[in-house]
Amino acid sequence: MLRVEANDVLKRIKWWKCSEWAIRISERYGYLPYMVCRYEEMLGREEALQLLESFENFKPRITIRVNDLVIDPRELINKLEDLGFRLKRLEWCSYCLEIVEQPPSPSIGATHEYLKGLYFVYRDPAPTVPPIVLDPRPGAKAIDVCAAPGGKATHVLQIMRDEGLLVANDKARSRIPILLSHFVRMRLRSFVITWMDARELPKYLGESFDYVVTDVPCSAEGGIMFDPTRKTKTKPNDLAKLVAREIEILGAAVDLARPGARIVYSTCSIAPEENEFVVSKILEAYDDLKIVKPKLNLWDWGLDYVPNLELEPEVRNCIRIWPHRHGMQGFFVCLLEKS
């Protein structure tokens, strides 16, 4: 079992030397200085400002995923348009629809169609990407190690056509009821729910899964538009603790995967420490892993060079979604394969 100390991570991550510009801009927008220092290094000053402005002026893109196991997307579009909604298909998902316009009432989460399990609601399109990148086959054995509230878990089982088995695990007991409710509401049956720390799962389940979903608890630095407290919530010591836990959870995911299996790692963060750095540490720890470059080529690729971080060249084959470039919350997705 892979164990990582936060203090060791803190030593490996050399914190940023801030320019006067970054300090001034961090004060203007209300961020911790090290965050803006990163943006300046990764993007340059002009684009760093574009990123900060995108967080300030972001227009939400509420998205639904049609449950095509029970209804044809075209039929659902007609039903929702009759209620006053206007929808647009996502480029990378034919059964995912962005809400372009909606009536004063009902809200998209309060229609009869929603209650009958005909679709799942997201506040942003980005979370639809990891299950599509993973692309699990029907009849397979899959696990989502941090599954609540259930968006990715139910999506994976939908792609599997509700055939095979999906284990949906979460550490937080309080989140289990909402996880179960989404499976039941969407009329899915080929699932089991477990309740434990993801890092303990390999002890009980072994190296037995064809597909592993690893959407880890993170700083949510890509979702500042939804929660402005994230501008100052994660101090360097806090980030080191998160990174250590993320490395351990991804290590457990690798331990759950059988030879030939695929693992998708994702965060709603734009922090390279939580993304390319975590994947690099896992590639160092496991010599039977490789990154598979996703077929989707709609966003940016991973950063293989960030000042102060030691990164593996392979991480350039991961996906990066930037709010100011792609009009979505910040997201990171990496597809791994175990030999």
208 token code pair: 């037995």
Catalytic one of 18, 268, 318, 334: 268
SS3 percent helix, strand, coil of the chain, rounded to 5, is 40, 20, 40
76 token code pair: 């659902």
Q: Are the C-beta atoms of 248 and 199 separated by less than 8 Å?
A: yes
Q: What span, in angstroms and rounded, lies between the C-alpha atoms of 214 and 263?
A: 7
The answer for residues whose C-beta is within 8 angstroms of residue 183's C-beta and 6 or more apart is 150, 153, 154, 157, 168, 191, 193
- Pairing relation of β-strands 209-215 and 257-267? parallel
Task: Cite the beta strand spans of 268-314 per DSSP E.
Answer: 289-291, 300-301
Q: Name the residue with tokens 């397979």.
A: 140
Burial of 195 (0-12, 13-18, 19+ CB in 10 A): middle
Per-residue 3-state assignment (H helix, E strand, C coil) for 77-128: HHHHHHCCCEEEEECCEEEEEEEEECCCCCCCCCCHHHHCCCEEEECCCHHH
Crossing angle (nearest 10°) for helices 33-43 and 20-29:
120
289 token code pair: 């892993």
**3-state SS class at 291:** strand
Q: Are the C-beta atoms of 34 and 283 separated by less than 8 Å?
A: no
| Residue 37 annotated in active site | no
Any bridge partners for residue 65, and if so which? 96, 120
**Positions marked active-site:** 268
